[in-house]
Chains A and B, each alone.
Chain A
Amino acid sequence: MSSIGFYLGLVFSGIIIKNVLLSQFLGICPFLGVSKKTSSAVGMGLAVTFVLVLASIISFAFYYLVLVPFQLEFLRTIAFIIIIATIVQLIEVLLKKYMVNLYKSLGVYLPLITTNCAVLGIAILNINNGYDLLGTIVYALGSGLGFLLVILLFSAIREKLELHDIPKALKGLPIALITAAFMSLAFIGFGGIL
């Protein structure tokens, strides 16, 4: 299980084949909400990737070092959501103090990440799929980059859509959802590679 090929496959499947947004439907709210402009999409994507990796590592450690020895596995959901909320809060405080510029550019998106299903979803999937620590990090990183890639592509398409003549009834979200459908279809095409 612990060969290099396995980890490479994990990254690849996280980014493209089992994309968090287009095939697992995790993190759809920010996907539809924060994808009107490319710049905000990049900010959101980077913030999500960062929190995703950090939260996955800490929840992994907490699960195997605290919950499993005390046989408290059923508290997983509660423990993970508290860990994620704490991490987001901590990052916000640290950024505010030490990296003011980054804080200003990410500021709005950080608190939103607590309720992003992608973060909790990947933390739970890591445990469900039985990955080891390296697998957890690699899978979280792949999923985060997949999120970044798709939200960036999607926001670029939406910027173009603004300029086109779309039937009145489809303007805004309906056409965005239909666009996402075609993107998802294209990503399914990669499924045969692995």
Chain B
Amino acid sequence: MKISDILKNGIYRKNPILIMLLGMCPTLAVTTSLANAIGMGLSVIAILTISNVVISLFRKLIPSTIRIPAFIGIIAASVTMIEMLVHAYVPALYVSLGIYLPLIVVNCIILERAESFASKNTMLRSALDGIAVGSGFTIGLLLISFFRELLGTGSLFGFQILPEATNMLIMILPPGAFLTLGIILGVMGHVKNKKKEELENE
């Protein structure tokens, strides 16, 4: 696989949120504001890169029968590191992400990349894959939180854009998360169907 392919796959061809539908818990929970989405996204990029690098370094030493517990141990250690760093340097983010920060351990994306990429590739490639997939995840989070923050509070990054009368509180409540993701996936499906029809007509 070429390096450009690793980047393209991670960021859009196999976008973890919009195409693969992995890691749904944090996707729905922390997307109430763009600031939260960026904090979550950066944490995932860091954790994914660390765990991919460590796993690819040890890939020849870990026996395949116990690889899943070994991977989970490595992932849990990297999550704990990032959790302590965020707690020490960005306490506001630590509070707003709440339990979803330690829950990155059970985020399917990270185990999936460990299993399907890092355990088979060299360290540099795995690091790149971690950054690419993490960025794809961040882009998905930003897309959802853009609509939720704009429609729910009328602001973007905390700056008021729409008048308060147009705020729909439901968008920042739990139902808004399901609704936004459902509609985004629906629109993507529609565009895909349109393209397919055009190809068939030609």
Interface residues of A (CB under 8 A from B): 22-29, 32, 74-78, 81-82, 85, 114-117, 120-121, 124-125, 128, 167-171, 173-178, 180-182, 184-185, 188
CB–CB B175/A120 < 8 A: no
Can you report 25 A-B residue pairs in the complex whose CB atoms are below 8 A from each other? Answer: A23-B174, A26-B25, A29-B24, A32-B24, A74-B84, A76-B102, A77-B83, A81-B72, A81-B105, A82-B76, A85-B72, A115-B106, A116-B106, A117-B103, A120-B102, A120-B103, A168-B189, A169-B190, A174-B186, A174-B189, A177-B185, A178-B178, A180-B178, A181-B176, A188-B174
Majority secondary structure of chain B interface residues (helix, strand, loop or mixed) = helix
Which residue, of A120, A181, A184, has the highest number of chain B Cβ atoms within 10 A? Answer: A181
Contact B185 A125 (CB under 8 A): no
Report whether B80 and A74 are in contact in the complex, using a CB–CB cutoff of 8 Å.
yes
Chain B residues near A116 (CB-CB < 8 A): 106
Contact at A25–B174, with CB atoms within 8 Å? yes
Residues of B contacting A121 with CB < 8 Å? 25, 99, 103
Q: Which residue of A lies closest to B75 (CB)?
A: A81
B86 at the interface (CB under 8 A from A): no
Report the Cα distance A143→B186, complex, angstroms. 30
CA distance A128 to B97 in the complex (A): 14
Separation of A75 and B76 alpha carbons in the complex (Å): 9
> What secondary structure prevails in chain A residues at the interface with B?
helix
A177 near B179 (CB under 8 angstroms)?
A: yes
How far is B77's CA from A170's CA once the two chains are assembled, in angstroms? 39
CB distance from B181 to the nearest CB of A (A): 5
B106 & A28 in contact (Cβ 8 Å cutoff) = no
> Residue on B with the closest CB to A122?
B99
Q: Please, how many angstroms separate the alpha-carbon atoms of A14 and B183 in the complex?
A: 28
CB distance from B150 to the nearest CB of A (A): 18
Are the CB atoms of A169 and B175 closer together than 8 Å? no
B182 in the interface (beta carbon within 8 A):
yes
Among B80, B111, B177, B185, point to the contact of A174 (Cβ < 8 A).
B185
Q: How many residues of B contact A (CB 8 A)?
A: 41
Chain A residue numbers with a CB within 8 Å of B173 are 184, 188
**Contact in complex: B106, A120 (CB < 8 Å):** yes
B156 within 8 A of A: no
Closest to A33 in B: B21
**How far, in whole Å, are A175 and B76 apart by their CA atoms in the complex?**
34
B163 beta carbon closer than 8 Å to chain A = no
Tell me the bound Cα distance from A116 to B106 in angstroms: 7
CB of A78 within 8 A of CB of B80, answer yes
Q: Is B193 an interface residue (CB 8 A)?
A: yes
Cα-based distance from A81 to B72 in the complex (angstroms):
8
Assess A124 versus B102: contact at CB under 8 Å? Given A77-B80, A169-B186, A174-B185: yes
Question: Of all chain B residues, which has the CB nearest A124?
Answer: B99
| Residue pair B73, A82 in contact (C-beta under 8 Å) | yes
| A185, B171: Cα distance in complex, Å | 11
Known: A25-B174, A181-B177. 4 other contacts (CB 8 A): A28-B25, A171-B189, A184-B173, A184-B175
Q: Does B170 sit at the interface, judged by CB under 8 A?
A: yes
A117 touches B174 (CB 8 A): no
**Alpha-carbon gap, A184 to B185, bound state (A):** 19
Closest to B192 in A: A169
- 10 closest A-B pairs by CB: A177-B182, A181-B178, A169-B190, A174-B186, A28-B24, A181-B179, A169-B189, A178-B182, A25-B29, A78-B76
